[in-house]
Structure 1
Amino acid sequence: MKSPTLQTVVIAIVFTIIAYIVTFVVAVNSVTIASLVFISAFLAPLFTGNASVNTLSSTSTSSASKATASDEEVRTLYVGNLPYRANETSVRELFAEYGSVHSVRLMKDKHTGKRRGFGFVEMAATDLDKAIVALNDTEFQQRTLKVREAKERPERPEESTQD
């Protein structure tokens, strides 16, 4: 979730002040005030131009079709044979030398929480080939990286529950 801009905060405060004034001047019931405050939370981004900002992140969306604010195409790289001690920051710094990095996800075992030795890096599509050529089969923290464009994850059939 992105932090609100100063303009968004100011507009939310203005709506709150209006609700406060309406409470004491007009003496309306508390349901009306709660409604005004609730509505102001949705109206503030409309006035600041941030209405399209999603507050929930989705991990199931295809990163190949995502676009940043500058309409830059983002694509995903698979990075294999990562050292288990590598973290998102070190991987981001490594790939940032070759282009604009949008996100880094290092996969962990869901039961133990330990890293699995691979991950995904989202980069600007224009920088993808440069990063692949520069980093594939190179050593990083004493491991030889395998870097290639990520394949689209196939849809898994729904698991049926058996009683």
Structure 2
Amino acid sequence: MKLFVTGFPNDFDDTDLKEMFELYGTVISARFVMDRNTGRRKSFGFVEMPDSLEALQTIEALDGAGIKGKKLSVKKAEERSADGGGGRDNFRSSGGRDNFRSRDRDNDRGDFKRRF
């Protein structure tokens, strides 16, 4: 099961992320998403765990937990639809603002695309 993670301190790296989640079960991969333009890590990433039960227990244990003054968010990642908006892995968070993708909007000035 692939998990969407956010809210980790800026000094966390992929190794720290993997080690933290290994406390709760087997981890296939753990990485923060990198910004292509700056090369810096973004504020979210993904952890993949092969055992769905362990993954669900990890979500229960870590979602909303505090670390270094930050509140963690850990959710099941959902595959994005084939209509676009997918990232490199084609996954997204199952809740919150990350569900917004490019949308066509109408206003007085005509159609335009807006990215969230």
* TM-score, length basis structure 2: 0.66
Match of 1:110 in 2: 36
The 2-side partners of 1:120 and 1:148 are apart by 10
Q: Number of matched residues? A: 83
Cα shift readout 1:46-71 (whole Å, capped 9, x = no counterpart): xxxxxxxxxxxxxxxxxxxxxxxxxx
1:111: how far off?
0.1
The 2-side partners of 1:108 and 1:138 are apart by 24
Partners of 1:138 and 1:144 within 8 A in 2: yes
1:78: how far off?
0.4
The 1-side partners of 2:81 and 2:61 are apart by 28
Match of 1:135 in 2: 62
Structure 2 unaligned regions, length at least 5: 86-116
RMSD: 1.4
Match of 2:22 in 1: 96
- In structure 2, give the amino acid aligned to 1:147: V
Cα shift readout 1:39-93 (whole Å, capped 9, x = no counterpart): xxxxxxxxxxxxxxxxxxxxxxxxxxxxxxxxxxxx1000012222210111111
Q: Which has the higher contact order (CA 8 A, sep 6+)?
A: 2
- Please, which of 72, 95, 98 is the counterpart of residue 145 of structure 1? 72
- 3-state DSSP class of the match of 2:28? strand
Q: Which has the larger helix fraction?
A: 1
Q: State, as a whole percentage, how many aligned pairs show the same letter.
A: 35
1:117: how far off?
0.8
- In structure 1, give the amino acid aligned to 2:44: F
- Please, which of 121, 141, 146 is the counterpart of residue 47 of structure 2? 121
Structure 1 unaligned regions, length at least 5: 1-74, 158-163
The 2-side partners of 1:79 and 1:108 are apart by 14
Q: Which has the larger strand fraction?
A: 2
1:9-158 equivalent positions in 2, closer than 5 A: 75-124=1-50, 125-155=52-82, 156=84
Partners of 1:107 and 1:119 within 8 A in 2: yes
- 3-state DSSP class of the match of 1:131? helix
- In structure 2, give the amino acid aligned to 1:101: V
Give runs of ≥4 in structure 1 deviating > 3 Å.
Answer: none
- 3-state DSSP class of the match of 1:99? coil
